[in-house]
């Protein structure tokens, strides 16, 4: 009997030793133009290292500032053979562009370039420049056929509003494939909870207060869930003495200024959450709330410009 008990103890210890860590393992790096942090509650250093290497490789592939990658070839030549992963991401981006009626628009690159130039010259874009730029923006200008992507009408793609979510999903999938059951992936506020805490309780994820980004608006419970926030409190364009949002309305060409201070989307896919957070921020509360209500796997927390906070029914508030 004693021997059985001893054996049981050994096997329990073994299980505890392999299934969870006494101390979580955490690593941070500046990638994707932001701070990326991954915390493993099970898994080892080597898994963490390869996960970061994959994020860096995804950045090389999807950044529009790397002139030799697939995205730049497509933007420059108007057509390009792309990898299956890129074709899948572009196809998904088209889905959310359509779903949001172009509030999130994967061809927003010329508009981003216009406002970057405006900031560099410290002068608002002229009406003529805005009209000319808007003529090039429109997701119907992009087609994806197998692994061939084609752009018409001078359109260019900008993955800035969806790539961090997609890369967070890929990192989470990689961790799961390698046996990790408990981790937090945070790519500059694009958060994926892989599994739950080692005790089985959901993770608690903080949502920044857009009116005071050092403070938290609330914390939410998250297990196998993405939590992604879009707002203008961190990035933007300064022209004259005014700060403009870096999120642009593809219908008007103007930086977003509406009744929202930030939008947080909660759903299983960080790719969807990233695209819809941007879309909802452009749409304003009423239209965004209607869009979210129609998506059965998706919830949202709206931080209103006037300080109110509105969460949809499925959001599990931790505090």
**H or E element at residue 170:** helix 163-177
Among the listed residues 63, 35, 27, 37, the one whose alpha carbon sits nearest the alpha carbon of residue 234:
35
Cα 252–118–72 angle (5° rounding)?
80
3-state secondary structure 224-276: CEEEEEEECCCCEEEECCEEEECCECCCCCCECCCCEEEEEEEECCHHHHHHH
Q: Which is nearer to ligand ADP, 115 or 203 (CB)?
A: 115
Q: Which of residues 47-106 bind ligand ADP (CB under 6 A)?
A: 104-105
Binding mask 98-127 for ligand ADP (x = CB under 6 A): ------xx--x---x---------------
Strands 299-304 and 260-267: antiparallel
- In the list 110, 138, 160, 284, the residue contacting ligand ADP (rule: CB under 6 A) is 160
Which of ligand ADP, Mg ion, none has residue 246 at its interface (CB below 5 to 8 Å by kind)? ligand ADP
Token digits of residue 261: 């201070």
Binding region for ligand ADP (CB under 6 A) out of 49-57, 243-251, 264-272, 311-319: 243-251
Q: What would you report as the CA-atom Rg of the chain, rounded to the nearest whole angstrom?
A: 21
Residue 137 engages Mg ion in binding (rule: CB under 5 A): no
Alpha carbon of 210 to those of 191, 217, 279: distances in Å?
17, 8, 17
Residue 274 engages ligand ADP in binding (rule: CB under 6 A): yes
Binding mask 223-242 for Mg ion (x = CB under 5 A): -------x------------
Which of ligand ADP, Mg ion, none has residue 112 at its interface (CB below 5 to 8 Å by kind)? ligand ADP
Q: How far apart are CA 189 and CA 33, in angstroms?
A: 12
What does the binding site for ligand ADP look like in residue numbers (CB under 6 A)? 104-105, 108, 112, 158, 160-161, 164, 230, 235, 246-248, 250, 274, 278, 282
What does the binding site for Mg ion look like in residue numbers (CB under 5 A)? 161, 230, 274, 277-278
């Amino acid at each position: 009997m004693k021997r059985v008990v001893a054996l049981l103890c050994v096997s329990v210890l073994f299980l505890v030793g392999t299934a969870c860590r006494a101390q979580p393992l955490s690593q941070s790096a500046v990638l994707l133009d932001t701070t990326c942090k991954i915390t493993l509650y099970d898994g080892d250093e080597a898994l963490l290292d390869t996960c970061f290497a994959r994020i860096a490789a995804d950045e090389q592939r999807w950044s529009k500032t790397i002139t030799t990658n697939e995205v730049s070839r497509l933007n420059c030549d108007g057509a390009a053979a792309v990898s299956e992963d890129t074709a899948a991401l572009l196809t998904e981006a088209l889905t959310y562009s359509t779903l949001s009626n172009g509030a999130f628009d994967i061809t927003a690159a010329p508009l981003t370039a216009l406002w970057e130039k405006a900031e560099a010259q410290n002068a608002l874009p002229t009406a003529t420049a805005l009209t000319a730029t808007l003529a090039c923006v429109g997701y119907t200008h992009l087609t994806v056929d197998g692994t061939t992507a084609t752009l018409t009408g001078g359109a260019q793609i900008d993955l800035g509003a969806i790539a961090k979510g997609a890369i967070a999903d890929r990192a989470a999938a990689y961790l799961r494939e390698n046996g990790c059951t408990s981790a937090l992936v945070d790519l500059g506020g694009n958060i994926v909870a892989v599994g739950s805490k080692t005790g089985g309780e959901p993770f608690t994820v903080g949502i920044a207060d857009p009116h005071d980004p050092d403070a938290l608006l609330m914390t939410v419970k998250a297990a196998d869930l993405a939590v992604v926030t879009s707002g203008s409190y961190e990035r933007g364009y300064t022209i004259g003495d005014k700060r403009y949002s870096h999120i642009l309305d593809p219908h008007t060409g103007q930086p977003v200024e509406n009744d929202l201070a930030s939008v947080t989307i909660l759903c299983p896919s960080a790719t969807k959450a990233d695209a819809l957070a941007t879309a909802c921020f452009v749409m304003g509360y009423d239209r965004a709330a209607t869009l979210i209500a129609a998506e059965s796997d998706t919830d949202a927390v709206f931080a209103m410009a006037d300080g109110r906070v509105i969460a949809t029914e499925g959001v599990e508030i931790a505090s």
